[in-house]
Amino acid sequence: MRTWLVIGTLGLGLVGCTKAVTFQGESTLAVRAVPPAPVAEIVAPPRVEIRDNKIEIHEKIQFEYDKATIMEASFGLMNEIADVIAKNPQIKQLRIEGYASAEGDLTHNKQLSDARAQSVMKYLTGKGIPTRTLTAMGFGIDRPVADNSTEDGRERNRRVEFVILEQDVTQKKVEIDAKTGAEKVVSEEKQTVRAPAAETTKEAKATDDAARAKPPVTPKKGG
């Protein structure tokens, strides 16, 4: 019984101790908490961006099968495209180009690609983009970006592209202060850059003429 009383008293003494206990021959071990590394914010790449003479879209505009009706799933993308055009007034002329795969009837696919380009233009003008800024044209199977002999390739070839035909470009001459490193614009020149509008039209006609001499890949319609 006495043994238990001694242990209990010792335990109470330790619990009630308010000062650090120093043990002879021992050193104090400092424990420092290391804060967690900051989590880097993941920024998604833009779906729509201007590169040189094109507005690049990194997601396809989806249409109903064999129709020119834009699917609701692509409304968000279309709104982003309209927003990019509106925020870049240096774009004076923009051509919306529709393309198709080599699957199905050549004439039908040419008409479908043109109707889809027109549908995209109608959507953009409905979002406030001036009609005078836009033109729309279907190029059918012209300039494929993938192999038409595979389903994946045909799907990639069914697309819409945005080509900037005319835009204002500003060229600045800058001097750098040798002491401060500050930049100073000493001259600024604006010029209008135009793309050869007739070039792709000739290419499309040549491609269509060549394609008419070949049978379609399959007898079904293109999507």
Phi, psi of 49 (to 5 degrees): -155, 155
The tokens for 45 are 């790449």
Residue 37: predicted pLDDT: 77
Provide block-wise average pLDDT over 10 residues at a time, the chain (223 residues). 44 47 56 73 87 94 96 98 97 96 93 98 97 96 93 95 92 79 78 68 50 45 51
Residue 171's pLDDT is 77
Residue 11: predicted pLDDT: 43
pLDDT, position 77? 98
Which of 129, 43, 119 has its CA nearest to residue 80?
129
pTM of the model: 0.67
Q: Around Cβ 144, how many Cβ atoms within 10 Å? A: 17
Which tokens is 21 given?
């206990």
From residue 122, give the alpha-carbon distance in Å to each of 61, 65, 145: 14, 19, 26
Provide the residue type at 145 as one letter.
V
For residue 156, CA distances in Å to 50, 59, 104, 152, 168 come to 20, 11, 15, 6, 31
The pLDDT value given to residue 170: 80
What's the confidence (pLDDT) of residue 183? 79
Token pair, residue 50, equals 């201007």
Amino acid at 54: K
Instruction: Say which DSSP state 196 is in.
Output: -
For the chain, what is the radius of gyration of the CA atoms? Answer: 34
Tell me which residue has tokens 């399959």.
218
CA distance 56 to 84: 11
Domain annotation for the chain: domains and CATH numbers: 48-167+193-212 (3.30.1330.60)
